[in-house]
């Protein structure tokens, strides 16, 4: 991986971890800065989400500061200039899921374009 690719993957990882931070999630404006205007998600529940619905859920305190999401096995790859794919395993108070995110570089920085979660047994 080139230095530029490594920097892109690291930037996406840092942004992903910010989105999982309970202190960031408590403020819709901070979450909104990290979501692409065209953001969509297919949640582990099978529900389809957009940026507006995610902002409603994240600001409702879905991640407790006392029990933050535990992340492991995070890795990333540059798919094209300005596009990074991340995968990782997340445990949110016993709800375990494999997660996949697409990040794209915009004029305002890295923003999550797509996210999908699949429950793990």
Please work out, in degrees rounded to the nearest 5, the angle formed at the alpha carbon of residue 114 by the alpha carbons of 81 and 111: 60
C-alpha to C-alpha distance for 39 and 61, rounded to whole angstroms: 20
Q: Mind listing the pLDDT tens digit for each residue in 49-102?
A: 999 998 888 777 665 677 788 999 999 999 999 999 999 999 988 999 999 999
Give every CB contact of residue 91 below 8 A, 6+ residues apart in sequence.
69, 70, 72
Q: Is-contact 65 93, C-beta < 8 A?
A: no
pLDDT at 62: 62
pLDDT at 73: 97
Q: Mind listing the pLDDT tens digit for each residue in 19-38?
A: 999 889 888 999 999 999 99
């Amino acid at each position: 991986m080139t230095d530029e690719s490594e920097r892109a993957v690291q930037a996406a990882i840092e942004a992903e971890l910010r989105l999982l931070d309970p202190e960031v999630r408590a403020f819709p404006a901070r979450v909104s800065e990290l979501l692409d205007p065209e953001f969509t998600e297919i949640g582990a529940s099978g529900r389809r989400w957009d940026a507006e619905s995610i902002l409603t859920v994240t600001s409702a305190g879905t991640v407790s500061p006392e029990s933050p999401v535990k992340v492991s096995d995070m890795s990333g790859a540059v798919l094209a200039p300005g596009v990074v794919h991340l995968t990782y395993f997340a445990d949110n108070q016993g709800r375990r899921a494999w997660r996949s995110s697409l990040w794209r570089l915009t004029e305002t920085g890295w923003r999550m374009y797509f996210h999908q979660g699949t429950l793990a047994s």
